[in-house]
Amino acid sequence: MKLSNQVLTMALVLASYTLAGCTPTVKIDPPDKPIVINLNVKIEHEIRIKVDKALDDLLTNQELF
């Protein structure tokens, strides 16, 4: 009986080494060329200010400033 336990243990050890050697590996290589990101962005903005006529007269008053 003792010999069969040793054989079983050795078989399990060999099987675990065999399975460990078959594990898949993932290899990630950096690209040969640099990554280029083209950002063609056109930004336009328009600010509209609507001023009441009385407020406009007040702001154009030279004595205010």
- Structural domain that includes position 11: 2-60
- Does some domain include residue 54? yes
What local confidence, expressed as pLDDT, does residue 55 receive?
A: 76
Any domain includes 41: yes
The predicted structure's pLDDT at residue 2: 63
pTM: 0.32
The predicted pLDDT at position 64 comes to 57
Determine, yes or no, domain membership for 35. yes
pLDDT, block means (10 residues), the chain with 65 residues = 77 82 77 89 82 76 63
- pLDDT for residue 7: 85
User: Which position has the token pair 């078989």?
Assistant: 11
Structural domains in the chain (count):
1
How far apart CA 58 and CA 12 sit, in angstroms, is 95
Q: Report if residue 65 sits inside a domain.
A: no
Indicate the residue type of 28.
Answer: I
Task: Write down the pLDDT at residue 57.
Answer: 76
